[in-house]
Amino acid sequence: MNPERESADKHETDTQVPAAFLLKTPRLRVAIRETVRALNTPVAKVRMRRAVAKSDRPIKLEIGGLVPRDGWIITNVNATTRNYLDATSPWPVEDGSVSYVFTDNVIEHIPLEAGRAMLAQAYRAMQPGGVIRLLTPDIKKHVELYLSGATAVDSDVAQAYKALGMTVEHPIDLIRIPIGSFGHHEGYVYDFEILEAELKRAGFHSVIRCEMGESEHEALHGIDFRLDQEGAQLIVEATR
C-alpha cells in the first residue's frame, strides 16, 4: 500500500506524444521503475550500512517508511529508497542494538513465513525492553462492518477507502478491499489475536492494542500518519 515515486527522462516521438502520455502505459511504467530499482538498490544497500554504522546506539528503525524523521533510520525496498532493507532477510545491525521498530502497513504485504522472519529479526536486533509498533488493516473490524449491513458503506472506514479511489458500493467491499486490494492477496492478513500470537511466537511480550497516534513511549507517540483510516487499522505494540 505504500506509493513509489516514479520518474523518466523527457521524451518526444516523431508525432510529439508527450511524456506524460507515455507514462500512462503500464509496461513503460514498470520498465522505468525496474530500471531505477536496478540502479538504485545496490547504492541504497551501501547507504543503509553506512547509516547503521554512523548511527548512535540504540537505533530507532522504521520498516517501509517514505519520509525522513529525525533520529530514525528510514528503510524501504521500493525503487527510489535511500536506505534499502529487505526486512524478511537478516538485518545489517548487531544483536540488541535497536530500541524501537516502527512498521506501517508492511506485514500484510508478505506471506506468513516471511512475516515471521521479519518479527524474528526485530526480536534479535532489539535490546531488552525495546518496543515494536505495527500497523496493519484490522480484518475483524472489516468483517464486523460487513455484518452490520448496508450502513457499512457510509462508515468512516468506507469513506477513507473512497477517498483513495476505491469502489465501496456494497458491504462486501469492506472485506474485499483489505484482502484483495493493494497486493494484500499475496501476503497475509491479521486480526489482533493472530498478530498477538505471532509476536509472542517471536519472543515478544506485553502485546497491547493502541489508539492511532497514541503511545506511552515518547519515540512512538504521534508517529502514525493514517489518521483518516483509524477505524480500519489495527495498531499494536509489543515489548522485547
Tell me the C-alpha to C-alpha distance, in Å, between residue 76 and each of 27, 41, 142, 148, 153: 23, 10, 27, 37, 33
DSSP run (H or E) holding 233? strand 233-239
pLDDT the model gives residue 19: 53
- Report the distance separating Cα 232 and Cα 173, nearest Å: 13
Yes or no: say if 178 and 185 are a contact pair by the CB < 8 Å rule: no
pLDDT at 158: 96
Q: Where are the domains of the chain?
A: 19-135
pLDDT value at residue 18? 54
User: What are the pLDDT tens digits along the chain (240 aa)?
Assistant: 443 333 333 333 333 445 555 456 888 889 999 999 999 999 999 999 999 999 999 999 999 999 999 999 999 999 999 999 999 999 999 999 999 999 999 999 999 999 999 999 999 999 999 999 999 999 999 999 999 999 999 999 999 999 999 999 999 999 999 999 999 999 999 999 999 999 999 999 999 999 999 999 999 999 999 988 888 999 999 999
- Reading the block at residue 138, the C-alpha cell is 484490522
